[in-house]
Amino acid sequence: MQYRQLGRSALKVSEICLGTMNFGPRTTEAEAFVILDRALEAGVNFIDTANQYGGELGAGITENIIGRWLAQGGGRREQIVLATKVHEPMSALPNDRGLSARHIRLACDASLKRLNTDHIDLYQMHHIDRTAPWDEIWQAIDVLVAEGKITYVGSSNFPAWNIVRGNEAAARRHSLGLVSEQSLYNLLERRIELEVLPACIEYGVGVIPWSPLAGGLLAGIDNTGGGRRDTADARDSVKRLRPQLDRWVKLCAELGQPPGATALAWLLHQPGIPATIIGPRTIDQLEAALGVPELTLSKEFLAQIDEIFPPCGNAPEAYAW
């Protein structure tokens, strides 16, 4: 496993980040433990979750599973960089959501309890909260850092302008500010290259792509057009994108690598990306991704990929004059 610095921080994270959204609703606790143990054995030290994960089983379920895994000891907690998130509704109560100072502090304490740990390495704001001033957010964050409950702060699904505002506000308070941003980024969705990615590079914010395989579309399609997810939306997407996807599968075959692994490797060849999230439901899906950091793509191959999945524009000033 290879490791990179998380943004401008000195923290080193594995190039593969283990996403856990499936743990609970789609992956049993026993299966999740097997995946977590295997990932740790393979050198994956970056584990990402969120306080709301749990699907139909209820918010907090996934954090509980990870907490019970950590409770087994054996140096598990010491070996990992543990990331979770705050923002999404945790109940029907009006203040049990968002990024108010009150909710940030209460949500952090609740996550610590579920995760069975005394600190969170990377505490991420799951979405932008347009009602919460940055001074209020940083006031709560600064208290949590001072108390030793969190170490670093990141964002997720933020626009570039808010990442900039957030870090400028932190600088005025002499705080470290955001060191990471989780964004939707894959070969079929490259819009963050226009502003989010350049802004993050400028401010030393590491970008962690989520949905790197575009819901499985980039992992290859079958002859029936159903794709990995046999849903109406997936079938419509495959039908619409089939010319691109067919070219993609053919190009990967020429390289001699599976399309899914190649799509993940492509992300690790982009500037500003310390790690990419994978969200395996099974141990086989984890195993298929573990060799990705060793996959090197040539400049010629990367250029061929751009021909199939063109960049959005001349970032970061695609529409300036």
201 domain residue, yes or no: yes
Choice among 3, 53, 152, 319 that is catalytic: 53
Q: What is the mean pLDDT of residues 136-154?
A: 97
> Is the per-residue pLDDT at 231 higher than 90?
no
> Is the per-residue pLDDT at 223 higher than 60?
no
- When pLDDT is cut at 50, 70 and 90, the band that residue 319 belongs to is low
313 domain residue, yes or no: no
pTM (2 d.p.): 0.91
CATH label of the domain that carries residue 134: 3.20.20.100
140 domain residue, yes or no: yes
Which residue matches tokens 């500003």? 272
165 domain residue, yes or no: yes
The structure tokens listed for 20 are 């856990």
Instruction: Read off the pLDDT of residues 58-81 as tens digits, 9 standing for 90 and up.
Output: 999 999 999 999 999 999 999 999
Instruction: Read off the pLDDT of residues 19-61 as tens digits, 9 standing for 90 and up.
Output: 999 999 999 999 999 999 999 999 999 999 999 999 899 999 9
226 domain residue, yes or no: yes
Distance CA 37, CA 208 (A): 22
Helices and strands, number each (H, E), in the chain: 11, 10
Let me know if 53 is a catalytic residue. yes
Instruction: Read off the pLDDT of residues 182-216 as tens digits, 9 standing for 90 and up.
Output: 999 999 999 999 999 999 999 999 999 999 999 88
Q: How remote is the C-alpha of 246 from its chain's centroid?
A: 27
Q: Could you give the number of structural domains in the chain?
A: 1
Q: Which residue has the higher pLDDT, 214 or 238?
A: 214
CB atoms within 10 A of CB 291: 16
> Is the per-residue pLDDT at 226 higher than 50?
no
7 domain residue, yes or no: yes
Residue numbers of the domain that contains 44:
3-308
106 DSSP assignment? H
316 domain residue, yes or no: no
Q: What percent of the chain has pLDDT over 90?
A: 86
Instruction: Read off the pLDDT of residues 243-283 as tens digits, 9 standing for 90 and up.
Output: 899 999 999 999 898 999 999 999 999 999 999 999 999 99
Distance CA 148, CA 143 (A): 9
SS3 202: helix
Which of 170-177's residues contact partners 24+ apart within 8 Å by CB, and which partners? 170/134, 170/138, 173/135, 173/138, 173/142, 175/138, 175/141, 175/142, 175/145, 176/9, 176/152, 177/153, 177/203
175 domain residue, yes or no: yes
